[in-house]
Amino acid sequence: MQSQDLPPNPPEEIPEDATIVRQIQWAWLWSSAPWIIALAALGPFGFGLIPDPFIASLIALVILAPRYFQYRRTEYIITDDSLIFRRGGIIGSQSYVFPLSRLKDIKSRYGMFGRTLGYQTVDIMIENGNLVSLNYVPALVDFAEHLQGKINLSDLESGNASENGHSEDLLSKDPERDPEA
């Protein structure tokens, strides 16, 4: 099999104890709202730009369908060692895997209507300086706090492992304990 035949991001095996968070129910509609409002405004005041209601309905479908499929196929998955961001589309979805050790800072923020409509955006800073924004995360889930807890736990475990390995190296090179050194 050639490398061109492989998908760009192979599907990740999701453990049973993983936390899976999906976007809020009406995310697809809220992301489409400005376009739908503009389309509705063009109807009576469009001066002949959209003469037929069928054309207007077709345009609305072209605006709404991709966003609906994106909403249905997007999920944020937290495992013990990584964050998996599955981003949906019309044809399928792509998975982006971020090891917890590469995540440096997490902030959640509400948009203009986020607090009222019950969603937030979670911004994640990766160690290379890039920012990943997870949109339309339900506000009641405490996603940012849960992810920060997993990162802290991962840091503690990796810190203990490196400290143990480091102290063993020091002990083996101590001349008083190792007569051959």
Structural domain includes residue 124 = yes
**Following DSSP, what letter does each residue of 24-66 receive, concatenated?**
-TTHHHHHHHHHHHHHHHHHHHSTTSS--HHHHHHHHHHHHHH
Q: What is the predicted pLDDT for the residue at 138?
A: 92
On whether residue 3 sits in a domain, the answer given is: no
- Give a yes or no: residue 104 inside a domain: yes
Contacts of 175 (CB under 8 A, 6+ apart): 181
The answer to whether residue 144 sits within a structural domain is yes
Question: Higher pLDDT residue, 45 or 23?
Answer: 23
| Residue 10 located in a structural domain | no
Domain-embedded: residue 179: no
Residue 38 forms part of a structural domain: yes
CATH number of 78's domain: 2.30.29.30
- Domain residues for the domain of 56 are 17-159
Go through 166-180 and write b for each residue having 16 or more CB atoms within 10 A of its CB, e for each that does not: eeeeeeeeeeeeeee
29-33, 119-123, 159-163: the lowest-pLDDT one: 159-163
- 46, part of any domain: yes
Tell me how many domains the chain contains. 1
Q: Report residue 108's pLDDT band, with 50, 70 and 90 as the boundaries.
A: very high
